[in-house]
Amino acid sequence: MANPKYLSKSRFKLALECPTKLYYTVRSNGYFDKNEGNDFLQALADGGHQVGELAKFRYHPNPVGEGITVETLDHAEALAQTRAKLDRPGRVVIAEAALLHDSYFVRVDILIQDKGATTIDLIEVKSKSVKSEDVASGFKSKSGKYDSDWLPYLYDVTFQAEVARMVFPGYDIRPKLLLVDPEHVCEQDGVHQLFKIVTQKSADGKSRVHVQVPGQLTAADFGHMEVLREVDVSDVVEDLRTRPIDNVAHVPEPYRTDLRTFMQWAGELQTGGIKYFHGVSKACRNCQFRAPAGSDLKSGVHECWQMAISLGLLQGGRSLADRTVPLSIDLWGGASGAKSLADVVIQHGRAFLADFQQEDLEAKVASKDIGMSALDRRMAQIQTAGAHDTGPLLEEGRLSEMDEWEWPLHMIDFETTAPALPFFKGMHPYQTLAFQFSHHIMEKLPDGSIRIRHANQWISTKAGVYPNIDFVRQLRKALMPDGQLHGTVFRYHNHENTVLRGLRKTIRAAPQSLVPDATELIEFIDLITRATGQEKKEHGDFAGPKDMVDLHRLIQEGYYTKHAGGSISLKFMLPAILKDASGVASMYGKPGVYGTGLPVQSLNFSEPEGHVWLQAAKANDPYKTLPSIFGREHGDLDEMLARLAGDESEEGTINQGGLAMTAYNYTQYADLSQCDRKAIEDAL
């Protein structure tokens, strides 16, 4: 079991982010942690655990058969098992090796000891994608500083190497990163199916991620494994262990001198259970220890805000007891370029959003001729933060575009995944798989009324079936049943456009025998999309004759509501719009409106009274009314999959893209029962 007195890899990482988190992360202290219990979902979503298992076969011919992994979570037992393996003669490969020195405890992903050469290889396995230019630059940006995206990984392996130096005096410590190489393709189908993610109950009653691997597998089953790239980071580690620690606003100067100084200080905080506070920064915006309104747990962010106010670092006269009151770091940061607006509000000492002044921002930024500028939108958020009766703000000049839309109106939404370990031979790591779309239509009837209907949907959940080509084919059929596109197609932000442009490349590269209709599929994609990213740089801007309308941009420039809390994410905008549009909300709060054969046609809800999207018992949040993934009658699926919504009070729903992706990834295990597969498919 975990020992809170040790400074582990994960706690070292927290201390680098903010040493106050060392106190907040101790469960017995009673703080809310939004990352708590998320390991299973994260493992399914990013493939990190599966990459870790595949890595063992890169360094050992038979890792399962010879039991190279230290499986136990108990510290003392893990240390004993590691010592026993290290006592073996010759070259020794250990996965999850446990090392302890003073208050420092690490589990090394893969440790290789060569007694004859007196070397210790430390391999830190990450599912992060690495490019050749990242390696060539030494993981540094053009400014010569370590890239902020890479720095946490580099410090992670540096910490492990430092502990290893203490544990193995006289040995040459050789730290390495094993990363995912997107420049290579997978050599076989179904590699991910060999590493099934499940959960296990540990002695402390918690569910933990475990990967089941067939015992008969050997390294010979995987070819060259070029999708995994080893990078020797000895020079980087040597530099980081001796240089002052940068980018740590929450760490006082005396403890930034070098790595060992910081480690010793962080270790003392950890072993002593000390709550240390050294100010607030832009990093607080994304702190996982911010409890929402209504939570019985303590809120670390609000406690830090209180300490900052008491020390005069922030000023504000509002109550922190009310967690619905927006803090200054809640200021919308979109369209701000490289500047961090969270940093700006901290520098001005503003504790609450309503305390902010326009002169705090760059007032020289002029409003747009039509629609809200980024500054206009931020000022609207600030002005409404303290006014509870402010209604929505509409920029009619920007919204007048709606009058030009050609009817009918087509609303499409995609669900996709991009697994680290490709599901199919010939795919690159993190290449997109499009497995589901929905299609709704708003159309004007001859009598002048408007009809809304769920017109089409498509999903592919069968294991081993490549979905991308048929996805485009079925989408074209849905939008162009007679070969012509009538009306206007809508998306929300860039996802649908990006996916289709990527699938265009896939279709062009596919053999004609596989895609005999490639020409009409490419023409369809070009009709409703625009060039993006590298494509735009290489070939210039391009927009199809029926280019999709981006409702995200329309809202950003034409509509503001205080109910969205400054966000433009659809997850927040939909409930917020329903609060502003009481007539629409009233309609969707009644039975007999939405369902098969009802005024708003549905393909999925066939009950006589249909589906009521807004329910008082569900806080009038439409996402919370979605049906469970499955019930007990559907078999023995892992209990954590049953809580995909992350809310233990619910049976579990699939209510946002990341969770849909997670559920699809789970369906790609071939041994999933048909009953369980159908249950997940129905929920999706």
Full residue range of the structural domain in which residue 61 is found? 37-242
Q: Tell me, yes or no, whether 612 lies in a domain.
A: no
Q: Tell me, yes or no, whether 175 lies in a domain.
A: yes
Instruction: Quickly list DSSP for 113-157.
Output: EETTTTEEEEEEEEEEE--HHHHHTTSB-TTSSBPTTTHHHHHHH
Q: Binning pLDDT at 50, 70 and 90, where does residue 106 land?
A: very high
576-614 confidence digits (pLDDT tens):
999 999 999 999 999 999 999 999 999 999 999 999 999
pLDDT computed for residue 488 by the predictor? 98
pLDDT computed for residue 636 by the predictor? 39
Determine the Cα–Cα distance for residues 387 and 529; give it in Å rounded to an integer.
41
Average pLDDT of span 334-342 = 77
Predicted confidence (pLDDT) at residue 375 exceeds the cutoff of 80: yes
175-190 confidence digits (pLDDT tens):
999 999 999 999 888 8
Based on the fold, state whether residues 306 and 329 are members of the same structural domain: yes
Q: Tell me, yes or no, whether 68 lies in a domain.
A: yes
Phi and psi for 358 in degrees, rounded to 5?
-60, -35
Based on the fold, state whether residues 428 and 475 are members of the same structural domain: yes
Predicted confidence (pLDDT) at residue 38 exceeds the cutoff of 70: no
Predicted confidence (pLDDT) at residue 650 exceeds the cutoff of 50: no
pLDDT computed for residue 82 by the predictor? 98
Determine the Cα–Cα distance for residues 105 and 357; give it in Å rounded to an integer.
47
**DSSP-assigned letter for residue 487:** S
Based on the fold, state whether residues 312 and 192 are members of the same structural domain: no
Residue with the larger pLDDT of the pair 282 and 485: 485
Given 510, 533, 551, the domain boundary residue is 551
Given 536, 551, 566, the domain boundary residue is 551
pLDDT computed for residue 455 by the predictor? 97
Based on the fold, state whether residues 179 and 90 are members of the same structural domain: yes
User: Mean of the per-residue pLDDT values for the chain?
Assistant: 88
Residue 77: which of 105, 98, 56 has the closest Cα?
98
Asked if 602 and 609 count as a contact pair (C-beta separation under 8 A), the reply is no
Residue with the larger pLDDT of the pair 170 and 362: 170
Overall domain count for the chain: 3
Given 551, 573, 592, the domain boundary residue is 551
**Pick from 246-255, 346-355, 380-389: least confident:** 380-389
pLDDT computed for residue 459 by the predictor? 96
447-471 confidence digits (pLDDT tens):
999 999 999 999 999 988 999 999 9
Based on the fold, state whether residues 384 and 411 are members of the same structural domain: no
Based on the fold, state whether residues 204 and 341 are members of the same structural domain: no
Q: Tell me, yes or no, whether 631 lies in a domain.
A: no
Q: Tell me, yes or no, whether 309 lies in a domain.
A: yes
Based on the fold, state whether residues 203 and 138 are members of the same structural domain: yes
Determine the Cα–Cα distance for residues 403 and 399; give it in Å rounded to an integer.
8
Q: Tell me, yes or no, whether 105 lies in a domain.
A: yes
3-state secondary structure of 213: coil
Based on the fold, state whether residues 343 and 414 are members of the same structural domain: no
**What percentage of the chain has pLDDT greater than the value 70?**
90
pLDDT computed for residue 662 by the predictor? 75
pLDDT computed for residue 307 by the predictor? 97
pLDDT computed for residue 210 by the predictor? 78
Based on the fold, state whether residues 230 and 373 are members of the same structural domain: no
Q: Tell me, yes or no, whether 130 lies in a domain.
A: yes
Predicted confidence (pLDDT) at residue 241 exceeds the cutoff of 80: yes
Q: Binning pLDDT at 50, 70 and 90, where does residue 43 land?
A: low
Residue with the larger pLDDT of the pair 248 and 644: 248
Q: Binning pLDDT at 50, 70 and 90, where does residue 647 land?
A: very low
- In 3-state terms the chain splits into helix, strand, coil percentages (rounded to 5) of 40, 15, 45
Based on the fold, state whether residues 375 and 414 are members of the same structural domain: no
Predicted confidence (pLDDT) at residue 386 exceeds the cutoff of 70: yes
Alpha carbon 405 to its chain centroid, in Å, reads 34
Q: Tell me, yes or no, whether 136 lies in a domain.
A: yes
Write down the pTM of the prediction: 0.89
Average pLDDT of span 492-507 = 95
Q: Binning pLDDT at 50, 70 and 90, where does residue 653 land?
A: very low
Predicted confidence (pLDDT) at residue 342 exceeds the cutoff of 90: no
Predicted confidence (pLDDT) at residue 626 exceeds the cutoff of 50: yes
Based on the fold, state whether residues 329 and 214 are members of the same structural domain: no
Predicted confidence (pLDDT) at residue 519 exceeds the cutoff of 90: yes
pLDDT computed for residue 625 by the predictor? 85
Based on the fold, state whether residues 432 and 380 are members of the same structural domain: no
